[in-house]
Amino acid sequence: MTQVELAEGLHVVIGGHFPKCNTLVIIDNEVVVVDPGCGIEDLRAFLMTQNLTLNDVGTVILSHIHPDHITHAVRLNRLSRCRIAANEITTPLFNDKEKMKNFLGFDRTNPVRPLWEKLVNSRMFGALEDGRVDEELQNGDKFALGNCTLRMLYTPGHLPDHMCIEILEPNLVFAADIDLTEFGPYYGHPNSSISDFKDSIRRLQHNNYRGLISGHLKEPLIEDYKTALAAYQRIIGIREDLVLAAIMDGAGSVPEITLNPIIYPSLTDPVYLQFETWMIEHHVASLLQRGLIEEKKKRYEAL
């Protein structure tokens, strides 16, 4: 179990890279867990160091609907009867997992759906279990926790329901999947948006925090986050240049572009090929909108 203490009563239990995530734990007048995607035994072990148990969790807050960020929410609710809080977009998706699957692009017509479900159930077990959100949040809503106040900040792009959680004391922001990893921004679903992601990055850059907490880095606190966000956003442009180069070299369709993977170095798993395909589709749409390519006879050509 690895944890980082950011301030008195404010901790991150490290989950690291997908299919886990970092979990924020706030110990104040109640125990609040944000994005319970770290190892459940790691969370249990950390709480024991604070003379607490999983039964002491009072509230779980979800930043968005991705399985690696909601993994243990239902389990914690069953153990402690804690309330689950999520924003107004996430709530109906958490309450109805079929809606969640459709939202993520894995409706019943998608042939990759069974493989995605198998991935989730084998590596993020519990994420697809039935559960209910108790408190619905909106942009700007605040949680007062005695010595600590949380404020919800919508940051769509990664997914339409993605939000960050500002920690007003001591002026930090939990950025969830605006995670500043070397992989770069992830927008691998049909309803993800490159332009919204860029807007959300700019929104964080314009705010003056003491630091940004990543949902996936093993050293989660980034103090020079404005510089890191600029480098993170540049990865989007690098990918787009590579997509344009592939089209200039004769790749006239998304399947042809993905023959030489741009997002993932090796595509041996159909689920990751699906993610790659959706991300490439977003880049192709961006290139069309910018007038850098055109579609002729159902094939893309550079202008």
Structural domains in the chain, sorted by start: 3-223 (3.60.15.10), 231-302 (1.10.10)
Burial letters 22-33, b for 16+ CB under 10 A, else e = bbbbbbbeebbb
User: Tell me, what's the pLDDT at 267?
Assistant: 75
For the cut 90, the answer to whether the pLDDT of residue 32 exceeds it is: yes
pLDDT at site 282: 98
Give 72-103 pLDDT, tens digit per residue: 999 999 999 999 999 999 999 999 999 999 99
Query: Tell me: the pLDDT tens digits for 40-50?
Result: 999 999 999 99
What mean pLDDT is predicted for residues 212-233?
98
pLDDT score recorded for residue 265: 83
pTM reported for the whole predicted model: 0.96
Model confidence over 156-207: pLDDT tens digits? 999 999 999 999 989 999 999 999 999 999 999 999 999 999 999 999 999 9
